């Protein structure tokens, strides 16, 4: 008959092997995730760049500083872009005319951009399930509820409107990424 200590040691070794296997798998998945996130980021940047190129120029003024040249003399420049986005977990500001999208964190900018694209194509309101699918997220309750929370916060701050329960559109006056108007 085997000893109790021997049986415990055998089970401990089996558990240790399982932990080691899972750690190796987790490391492999983390590496794959890093590559996938990098790839996704590059596509987001590419879409943003194409959007900038395809955006109509105002009054024939071309260039990144065009909106700064048309501001009031006492007003600070309005800039936007992913490099200058608000930090994640920052407070969502109340929307006002002229407020740049850079006041929003990247997650909120993505939601507004999706609705701007949808509005430009004349496709109407979006649900949070559709947003999750558009962002390549798993359409699972946790992911959808996280998006719903962010969309509701944008509604409360005046960036979005909730046309019907759970169906979101841009609020009146909110337009392209160059600013809030």
- Grouping H, G, I as helix, E, B as strand and the rest as coil, residue 162 is strand
Q: What's the CA dihedral at 107, 108, 111, 117 to 10 degrees?
A: -110
C-alpha 174/C-alpha 159 separation (Å) is: 6
pLDDT at 181: 43
Stated as kind and residue range, the H or E segment containing 121 is none
Higher-confidence residue of 68 and 89: namely 89
C-alpha 111/C-alpha 141 separation (Å) is: 17
Closest CA to 158 of 110, 111, 95: 95
C-alpha 54/C-alpha 106 separation (Å) is: 21
- Grouping H, G, I as helix, E, B as strand and the rest as coil, residue 161 is strand
Q: Which fold has domain 78-170?
A: Arc Repressor Mutant, subunit A (1.10.10)
Task: Look up residue 147 and give its two tokens.
Answer: 């998006």
pLDDT band of 177, cuts 50, 70, 90: low
Task: Look up residue 12 and give its two tokens.
Answer: 């401990």
Taking the domains of the chain in order of start, what are their residue ranges?
1-56, 78-170
C-alpha 69/C-alpha 50 separation (Å) is: 23
C-alpha 82/C-alpha 46 separation (Å) is: 12
pLDDT in tens, 134-148: 888 888 888 889 899
pLDDT in tens, 113-165: 888 888 888 888 888 998 888 888 888 888 889 899 999 988 998 888 888 88
Higher-confidence residue of 19 and 41: namely 19
- Grouping H, G, I as helix, E, B as strand and the rest as coil, residue 98 is coil
């Amino acid at each position: 008959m085997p000893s109790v200590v021997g049986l415990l040691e055998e089970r401990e070794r089996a558990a240790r092997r399982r932990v080691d296997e899972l750690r190796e798998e987790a490391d492999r998945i983390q590496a794959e995730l890093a590559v996938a996130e990098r790839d996704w980021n590059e596509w987001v940047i590419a879409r943003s760049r194409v959007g900038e190129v395809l955006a109509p120029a105002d009054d024939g003024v071309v260039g990144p500083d065009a909106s700064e040249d048309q501001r009031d003399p006492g007003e600070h420049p309005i800039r936007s872009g992913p490099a200058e986005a608000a930090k994640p977990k920052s407070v969502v500001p109340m929307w006002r005319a002229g407020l740049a999208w850079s006041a929003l964190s990247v997650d909120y900018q993505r939601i507004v951009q999706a609705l701007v694209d949808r509005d430009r194509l004349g496709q109407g309101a979006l649900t949070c399930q559709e947003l999750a699918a558009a962002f390549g997220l798993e359409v699972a309750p946790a992911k959808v509820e996280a998006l719903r929370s962010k969309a509701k916060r944008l509604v409360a701050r005046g960036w979005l409107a909730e046309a019907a329960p759970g169906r979101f559109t841009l609020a009146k006056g909110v337009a392209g990424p160059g600013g809030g108007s």
